[in-house]
Amino acid sequence: MNIKPLFDKVVVEAVTVEEKTKSWLYLPSSAQEKPQTCVVVAVGPGGVVDGKEVKMQVKVGDKVLCSKYAGTDFKVDGKEFTIIKQSDILAIVE
């Protein structure tokens, strides 16, 4: 995969979540919430966005917490990714 996001964009991949409840009921993917914890797989260069200088705060491999409904989902080679603005990242998880 060779994705190069532009400006202040970040490509993330959702961290796999359990597909069952605490009472051992299995949930289909349509019933699950969109994951908020992701791993950064590509980072844009930053630069001037809307007249403001943007310095990228995340790097590839960082585990981050994203806004629940942020970004655009897409598939590459059968894997699902989301591209978001850096400002949609709420925190870096350590």
Q: Where are the domains of the chain?
A: 9-93
| pLDDT value of position 69 | 86
Per-residue b or e along 35-72, where b marks 16 or more CB atoms closer than 10 Å to that residue's CB: ebebebbbbbeeeebeeeebebeeeeebebebeeebbe
First-residue to last-residue Cα distance in the chain:
26
Query: Could you read off the pLDDT tens digit of each residue along the chain, which spans 94 residues?
Result: 688 999 999 999 988 655 555 566 665 655 455 668 999 999 999 998 889 999 999 999 999 999 988 899 999 999 999 999 999 999 999 8
| pLDDT value of position 27 | 56
The pTM (predicted TM-score) of the whole model is 0.78
| pLDDT value of position 68 | 86
Token representation of residue 15:
């961290």
Say which CATH architecture domain 9-93 belongs to: Roll (2.30)
